[in-house]
Amino acid sequence: MRKPERQIIPYRAKVVEPISLLPYEERVRRIEACGNNLFRLGSHEVYIDLITDSGTGALSIHQMGRMMIGDEAYAGSRSFFEMERQIRESMGYRYAIPVHQGRAGERVFDFVLIKKHMIVPGNSHFDTTKAHIEFAGGRAIDCTIDAGRTSEGYHPFKGNIDIPRLESVIREYGARHVAYILVTVTCNSGGGQPVSMENIREVRRVADQYGLLVVLDAARFAENAYFIKTRETGYAHKSVPEIVQEMCSYTDACIMSAKKDAMVPMGGFIAVRDDLLYERLKAPTILFEGFYTYGGMSGSDMEALAQGLREVTDESYLAYRIGQVRRFGELLQKFGVPIVEPIGGHAVFIDARKFFPGVPEDEFPAQLLCAELYKEGGVRAVEVGSVLIGRDPDTGENIRPNLDLCRVTIPRRVYTFEHLEYVADVIRTVFEEKGPKLRHGLRFEVEAPGIRHFASTFRYVRGADGGTGDLP
């Protein structure tokens, strides 16, 4: 009997970038100088950079080759039409508008769709998404299922929208006050959890009932499609491109940061089906981004994006990509580190409240963990929790999210598993040596308004004995 095929690594290195680790004392000095905010570090100060998978992946030789033929025409670039054609072929949307990245797409889209006091229900909105909605005068309403609000327990699709909750919110506010329904795949703020096809189909049913738009945040659409293929009944025999087509067919539009699943350093797009909506989006694109056939992207960028959309649905790539993240998460579980289960697609999310059980919630345990990982091993991760979620727009009080997470994000086609083993050892060391002992965390030194986890600074809280939250 033939043995099962081994999992293959579907690429090899052709160009490498040197990296180095600063001494411990220097790392401590530099993170303190940055106000314990890892966004303020220079890349040369970081050894293993896992702050994001956005724009940090490795380009393929085919993407590099396509960039050489980029058409830099201001209007009507050949590269734009190639990108639009590929979006139509991959996702089924009729029209595409390029933007320089996903949040630019949110800015343009929300400018057109959201009026004051309107709401956008969805599944655990990311901070920039929430901020754009609020900037336009609206309000983001989280309708994630209860299983997605805890790090424990297995549910194959923790990113799902709670359909009864969605219907209740629509009735409470009134359909005319709903700008659109947002479905984020995979759900980043909820731990990188996927959304099932059945759930997207049900969201479509609700939207049709109330005459609403369904919009896909498609940053990690291919990873979500792979989870549908491997976890949802009836999809094992379907190809990832087929699943993507069906997934998108239940939506009216998508906003995509192409720096994720299109695997480019810069770029994004809005894609729509409706002629009228497309025309309404053109003017703000010109105002905010550039002419609507380049929208802040070069011709080279658009060529690389189109090629990335072709490459990302390759199932050998997705199997290795998601498998690498899973193996890293399983290694952390072996060490006893509390993580969000099941393991998601682009990152492993550490439950910081359980990691630092003695640190008060208002002293930001996830931000504390990020600072400690840098000091211990030069690893840069990111907080996805209390700092990110911000304040209640009505009361001004800090929102306490269901989960306070440290996201350890894996760039595409960049690090080997040996790199991730090093990161796991760093996390284990902090967990074993500081996890049960710390009783204090961080407080704001300077709280940046709006998008506070990008620009705020923090200081360690001093205890009653005059010591800091850090160990002596």
What is the tens place of the pLDDT at every residue in 206-258?
999 999 999 999 999 999 999 999 999 999 999 999 999 999 999 999 999 99
Q: Active-site residue 217, yes or no? A: yes
Give the angle 211-216-222 at the CA atoms, nearest 5°: 145
User: For 38-73, how does the pLDDT look when each residue is reduced to its tens digit (9 = 90+)?
Assistant: 999 999 999 999 999 999 999 999 999 999 999 999
Q: Active-site residue 127, yes or no? A: yes
User: For 132-172, how does the pLDDT look when each residue is reduced to its tens digit (9 = 90+)?
Assistant: 999 999 999 999 999 999 888 899 999 999 999 999 999 99
What is the arithmetic mean of pLDDT over 183-190?
90
> Where residue 463 falls among pLDDT bands split at 50, 70, 90?
low
Whether the pLDDT of residue 392 is over 90: the answer is no
Q: Looking at the domain assignment, is residue 241 inside a domain? A: yes
Q: Active-site residue 453, yes or no? A: yes
Distance CA 172, CA 153 (A): 31
Q: Looking at the domain assignment, is residue 269 inside a domain? A: yes
What is the arithmetic mean of pLDDT over 430-447?
95
CB 368 within 8 A of CB 406: no
**Any idea what the CATH number is for the domain that residue 343 is in?**
3.90.1150.10
What token pair was written down for 444? 């704001």
195 & 174 share domain: yes
More confident residue, 251 or 6: 251
State residue 465's pLDDT score.
33
Length of the chain: 472
State residue 464's pLDDT score.
33
Which of 312, 328, 363 is at the close of a domain? 312
State residue 469's pLDDT score.
45
State residue 1's pLDDT score.
59
> Where residue 442 falls among pLDDT bands split at 50, 70, 90?
very high
Which of 277, 312, 347 is at the close of a domain? 312
175 φ/ψ angles, rounded to the nearest 5 degrees: -60, -35
> Where residue 330 falls among pLDDT bands split at 50, 70, 90?
very high
Q: Indicate the range of 3-12, 276-285, 450-459 predicted with least confidence.
A: 3-12
What is the arithmetic mean of pLDDT over 420-429?
98
Distance CA 115, CA 173 (A): 14
Which of 249, 281, 312 is at the close of a domain? 312
**Any idea what the CATH number is for the domain that residue 261 is in?**
3.40.640.10
190 & 225 share domain: yes
Q: Active-site residue 126, yes or no? A: yes
Residues facing residue 183 across a β-bridge:
216
What is the reported pTM? 0.93
Distance CA 132, CA 37 (A): 22
144 & 175 share domain: yes
> Where residue 4 falls among pLDDT bands split at 50, 70, 90?
low
Q: What is the DSSP letter of 384?
A: E
Which of these is catalytic: 306, 346, 453, 458? 453
Whether the pLDDT of residue 471 is over 80: the answer is no
209 & 294 share domain: yes
Q: Looking at the domain assignment, is residue 79 inside a domain? A: yes
301 & 239 share domain: yes
Which of these is catalytic: 109, 126, 180, 356? 126
Whether the pLDDT of residue 326 is over 60: the answer is yes
What is the arithmetic mean of pLDDT over 85-113?
97
Q: Active-site residue 49, yes or no? A: no
Whether the pLDDT of residue 312 is over 70: the answer is yes
Residue that has been written with the tokens 């990245």 in this structure: 101
CA of 264: how far to CAs of 55, 58, 256, 258, 310, in Å?
A: 6, 8, 12, 6, 12
Whether the pLDDT of residue 282 is over 60: the answer is yes
State residue 2's pLDDT score.
64
286 & 395 share domain: no
Q: Looking at the domain assignment, is residue 466 inside a domain? A: no
Whether the pLDDT of residue 468 is over 70: the answer is no
State residue 268's pLDDT score.
97
Q: Residue 225: exposed, middle, or buried by beta-carbon count in 10 A (0-12, 13-18, 19+)?
A: buried
279 & 204 share domain: yes
Q: What is the DSSP string of 262-275?
A: T--SS-EEEEES-H
State residue 5's pLDDT score.
66
Q: What is the DSSP string of 179-201?
A: --EEEESSBTTTTSB---HHHHH
193 & 91 share domain: yes
What token pair was written down for 194? 């996927």
The per-residue pLDDT of the chain, averaged, comes to: 93
Element (H, E) at 347: strand 347-351
Q: The domain containing residue 351 runs over which residues?
A: 24-53+315-460
Number of domains in the chain: 2
Q: Looking at the domain assignment, is residue 420 inside a domain? A: yes
Which of these is catalytic: 260, 346, 375, 440? 260
Determine the 3-state secondary structure of 413 from DSSP. coil
Q: Looking at the domain assignment, is residue 472 inside a domain? A: no
Q: Active-site residue 219, yes or no? A: yes
Distance CA 145, CA 162 (A): 5
Q: Looking at the domain assignment, is residue 15 inside a domain? A: no
Q: Are strands 347-351 and 405-409 parallel, antiparallel or unpaired?
A: antiparallel
CB atoms within 10 A of CB 291: 17
Whether the pLDDT of residue 466 is over 60: the answer is no
253 & 157 share domain: yes
225 & 319 share domain: no
78 & 150 share domain: yes
Helix axes 417-433, 315-334, angle to 10 degrees: 20
Q: Looking at the domain assignment, is residue 132 inside a domain? A: yes
Which of these is catalytic: 53, 162, 217, 261? 217
CB 247 within 8 A of CB 224: yes
237 & 157 share domain: yes
What is the arithmetic mean of pLDDT over 418-444?
96
Which of these is catalytic: 53, 127, 252, 301? 127
State residue 399's pLDDT score.
76
What is the arithmetic mean of pLDDT over 22-41?
97
